[in-house]
Structure 1
Amino acid sequence: MSGDLGQRLQSVRKRRGLTQRELAAGSGVSVSFIRKIEQGERDDARIETLRRLAVGLGCPLTALIGSEPEAPESRNGEIWAETRRAIETPRAPLLDEPPADDAVAQSLTAAVRLYHDNNYEELALVLPELVADSNSVSPRLRARILQLTGSVMVQTRQLRTARTVLERALTSAESTDNALDAASVVVTLCWLLLVERRFQQVDELAIHWADRIEPRISTASERELSTWGWLLMRGSAAAIRDNRPDDATGMMRLAQAAAVAITREPTEYQDYWTLFGPATVAMKRVENAVIDDRPDLAIRLARQVPTGLRPTSDNRNRHLLDVAQAHLDLHRPDPALDILLQLSREARPWLIEQRLAKDLLARLIGKRRTLTPDMRSLADLIHLEY
């Protein structure tokens, strides 16, 4: 956390007129832990713990974490070294024999599929050339290539590089004079800001662009509804994390209206970004319920999510982690472990980059005297010391 977490917590608590013991009663966080934070003995509180403190204080989470909170970088970014190099040292446009947009677009489509299939090893081989070619193609195609690259960097927690490439993507998209192109990039930029815990910036950005592209639902195209819906879900995700549940519910309700207008869950990715439809919104409602510390509601909502969706790195896998967390919060370790094992089989490269997975497994094995072979295998996979 940036700055002095203890000083911020103590300042807000005193302004609210609460003692440490009263804050402990209202938040569910032990008074001894609150005391250690305020005395500067602990500055590594989990984000879930800080949110409970924010709920007990009746303040936004950002009042505790500060304006520039630290966010995790990747534990294993070596396979992306060539991609980072291509971003940091852009190749000059090829004037004599520039690559044809059609051929580059086909390569981009193939790369998108590798990304959603969690095939990071192969994607790391093709992405540097795509980034290099992006300087010699149309602005719209360049924006899409850079948006994919930014998504990869966010997913693998290479956040500084992600910001660089997404800012370039947004510049390219805005030059097309197509607001939907730019709004699509903003969806990914909001994801980066969520990971960085810059919730107020997400709120401002998502609302601004959602207002700018707001469609007439009865006549809007799927692309218009999808982009608008994702902006609203990003805003909702920021609001629920920042302890503003009413704002989160309002934005999710609008996203649901967009999803209902689509009427079905698409089976192909729309203009790179990701799938959007009723099932996507249903999964994000589960995520919000988990963040809002309502695991019973999350499990009920999870039962309403259509089954049979192919796992993807941008929605289904995260949804499964949310369901695992809800089970743990309800003291049901067995189904939580089953979900982690499922993800280790279906999305191994994705799973090892998820801090939430590490936190969940730590909770699973923390009080056990002996570990099963499956538990030891998972701990080794996500680099959890035990």
Structure 2
Amino acid sequence: MPESSDTHIGDRLREARKRRGLTQRALASASGVSVSLIRKLEQQELRDTRMETARALAVALRLPTSALLHHGDAGEGAEPGEPWAQVRAALAAPPHAPDLAGAEPTAGGLSDALRDTERLFASDRFTELATVLPHLLRDADALDTDDARARAVRVRLLQLTGWLLTQNRQFDAAAHALDQALINAVDRLDGAATVTTQCWLLLRTGRLAEARTLAEQWADETEPRLSRATADELSTWGWLMLRMAAASVRDAREGQAADALRMAGAAAAALGREHTPGEDWLRTFGPTTVVLKSAEHESVTGRPDRVLEAASRVPIGDLRPTSNNRNRHLLDVADAHVRLRRYADAVDVLQEVRAASPQWLPQQRYARDILSRVVRRRRTLTPEMRELADAVRLPL
């Protein structure tokens, strides 16, 4: 990955080391990275290093890895899509890039690095992810895909990358990442998890019939016996039914949507609780998830009173503030308030989302649409409304 335009990784490494009061030799001892490599980075003889090496140095310095890989914030004024140029390039690059300084990537090391990075995905930290992902993708390409663990790590990274790029409207790159994840899926459930995100991508690009067909095909092939199914099987199948329902309701097939939502509800009832397969927060499914999606369906069909009724049954305080569930649901709640002319309530909900996920909200056209309707119907705007208009990039 090209170095940052502001400072070199060596400059950031030297500054962080000095701030911690460490010599190069002490940092080498704490991190397991050779003194020679640390010296070469700080003297800018090397432009970059492996993700595992950067992570080892960051852990020893008690810093996020992204703080070494990138300095500063891209800022909200950047052109849409600009932060993702290096991620797109890493996805398109041929495998087995030239060796970089530092330890050769290993499945275990990359798995640890990815685990550290998942909190950035879960909290919508897009700026940091745009910095870290190219390094992860490059190192994943250098792994031996004949090794089962290496393959699983690479697929998980591609799944998350596809989800993130879909979130940020980088649809072509997202499709490429998800196609690669599906090709390399380690088993049927892993493939179905990728398909769930593919269906979401199709929904976001208006390809409703394709999304419905894909979800239905995979749901038929993975349908479990509810009385014997494992929790992972129920979660995976339940999400496919939710995608099928979402595509159907948007395609004015309310009967099919209701049937699919009812079957998802049956899977959730069999689980009896929210379940997260393999600690994969993207695949969390259960009774609360079904209620969230039920509210979404009521929103799509223009029944704001039912949206708020469903919302009253959602334990918002118990939900993690991620774009995958709570935040998207809260946009439906804000939209319902606007439809019912409760503009102050809608603004309060949008402020709540902004506080939880400030980098996510500006990417949401839905949020801009909601706030634009508030603005049109108000003679004057409160300071909070003006701040929100700037935050969601509402055109003047």
TM-score, with normalisation over the residues of structure 2?
0.74
> 1 CA distance for matches of 2:281 and 2:155?
11
1:326-350 Cα offsets, whole Å, 9 max, x none, are 1111221111110111111111111
* Alignment coverage as a number of residue pairs: 310
User: What is the Cα deviation at residue 377 of structure 1?
Assistant: 0.6
Q: Are the aligned partners of 1:140 and 1:181 in contact in 2 as well (CA < 8 Å)?
A: no
- 2:170 is matched with which residue: 158, 182, 189? 158
Question: In the TM superposition, what are the counterparts of 1:1-386 in structure 2 within 5 Å?
Answer: 76-92=80-96, 99-135=105-141, 136=143, 137=145, 138-173=150-185, 176=186, 178-266=187-275, 270-271=279-280, 273-308=282-317, 309-386=319-396
1:192-223 Cα offsets, whole Å, 9 max, x none, are 00000101001110011011111122222222
1:9-35 Cα offsets, whole Å, 9 max, x none, are xxxxxxxxxxxxxxxxxxxxxxxxxxx
Q: Are the aligned partners of 1:77 and 1:156 in contact in 2 as well (CA < 8 Å)?
A: yes
Q: Are the aligned partners of 1:324 and 1:340 in contact in 2 as well (CA < 8 Å)?
A: yes
Structure with more relative contact order (C-alpha pairs < 8 Å, separation 6 or more): 1
Q: Are the aligned partners of 1:226 and 1:276 in contact in 2 as well (CA < 8 Å)?
A: yes
2:197 maps to amino acid: T
1:133 maps to amino acid: D
> 1 CA distance for matches of 2:151 and 2:327?
32
2:360 maps to amino acid: W
1:110 maps to amino acid: D
Q: Which runs of 5+ in 1 are unaligned?
A: 1-73
> 1 CA distance for matches of 2:111 and 2:281?
11
Q: Are the aligned partners of 1:186 and 1:206 in contact in 2 as well (CA < 8 Å)?
A: yes
Q: Are the aligned partners of 2:236 and 2:283 in contact in 1 as well (CA < 8 Å)?
A: no
CA RMSD across the alignment = 2.0
Change (3 A) 1:115 1:272: same
2:239 maps to amino acid: W
TM-score, with normalisation over the residues of structure 1?
0.76
> 1 CA distance for matches of 2:298 and 2:311?
10
> 1 CA distance for matches of 2:286 and 2:163?
20
> 1 CA distance for matches of 2:282 and 2:98?
27
> 2 CA distance for matches of 1:360 and 1:95?
49
> 2 CA distance for matches of 1:152 and 1:285?
24
Aligned to 2:61: none
Q: Are the aligned partners of 2:124 and 2:357 in contact in 1 as well (CA < 8 Å)?
A: yes
Change (3 A) 1:267 1:247: closer
> 1 CA distance for matches of 2:262 and 2:98?
47
Q: Are the aligned partners of 1:352 and 1:381 in contact in 2 as well (CA < 8 Å)?
A: yes
Q: Are the aligned partners of 1:299 and 1:323 in contact in 2 as well (CA < 8 Å)?
A: yes
> 2 CA distance for matches of 1:286 and 1:201?
23
Q: Which one is further off, 301-310 or 144-153?
A: 301-310
User: What's the % identity of the aligned pairs?
Assistant: 44
> 1 CA distance for matches of 2:99 and 2:84?
28
2:207 maps to amino acid: R
Q: Which one is further off, 153-162 or 87-96?
A: 87-96
1:384 maps to amino acid: L
1:146-169 Cα offsets, whole Å, 9 max, x none, are 111001100011111111111111
- Which aligned segments of 4 or more residues in structure 1 are displaced greater than 6 angstroms? 93-97
> 2 CA distance for matches of 1:109 and 1:227?
21
